[in-house]
């Protein structure tokens, strides 16, 4: 199967990117994992690679969702990587946005970084997905009510 190469222009430079869909097993569930690879100076240039773990939590067992990174997500990856040491003009090699180095500072709306696809001993993805899901659906506490003006304090709704 051929991978589809997509193009994205960032600050006058053309980047080419591709996505490959995988899944990773956690202790309690399976999760969709999408490997994104980006090149900024031709096919022999240093690639950017990020393994993105979907934040979706589904009610059925080991089935993954349909999350897929779009151009906005890839642009965010590129911007972050460029400010954290990726030089796309260097020939050869891969710059990894790893969970161990970058997860505390980098997250997308629908994805977390994971190392589990490259390293089976990496932290359990299920725990991180559940934590991200809970944070996303946590109820927002109501705004505190403003105090009544002094002239209305102590009065009932009937005006007494």
77-85: Cβ within 8 A, 24+ apart: 77/36, 77/38, 77/48, 77/50, 77/108, 78/8, 78/10, 78/15, 78/38, 78/40, 78/48, 79/10, 80/106, 81/38, 81/48, 81/50
pTM of the model: 0.77
Is the model more confident about 42 or about 133? 42
Q: In the predicted model, what is the mean pLDDT of residues 94-109?
A: 93
Say how far apart CA 64 and CA 61 lie, in whole Å: 9
Q: Averaged over 136-148, what is the pLDDT?
A: 62
Please give the average per-residue pLDDT across 110-126, as a whole number.
Answer: 87
Q: What is the pLDDT of residue 83?
A: 95
Average pLDDT over residues 125-145: 69
Secondary structure (3-state) at 28: coil
- Under the banding of pLDDT at 50, 70 and 90, the label for residue 60 is low
Query: How confident is the model over 50-57, as a mean pLDDT?
Result: 89
Contact 1, 18 (CB under 8 A): no
pLDDT score of 1 more than 50: no
- pLDDT on residue 37: 97
């Amino acid at each position: 199967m051929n991978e589809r190469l997509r193009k994205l222009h960032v600050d006058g430079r053309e980047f080419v990117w591709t996505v490959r869909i995988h899944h990773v097993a956690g202790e309690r569930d399976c999760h969709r994992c999408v490997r994104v690879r980006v090149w900024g100076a031709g096919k022999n240039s240093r690639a950017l690679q990020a393994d993105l773990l979907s934040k979706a939590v589904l009610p059925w067992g080991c089935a993954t969702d349909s999350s897929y990174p779009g151009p906005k997500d890839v642009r965010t990856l590129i911007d972050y990587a460029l400010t954290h040491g990726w030089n796309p003009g260097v020939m050869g090699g891969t710059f990894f946005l790893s969970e161990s180095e970058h997860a505390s500072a980098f997250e997308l709306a629908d994805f977390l970084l994971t190392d589990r696809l490259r390293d089976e001993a990496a932290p359990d993805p299920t725990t991180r997905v559940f934590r991200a899901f809970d944070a996303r659906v946590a109820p927002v506490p109501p705004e505190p009510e403003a105090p009544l003006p002094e002239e209305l304090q102590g009065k009932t709704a009937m005006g007494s």
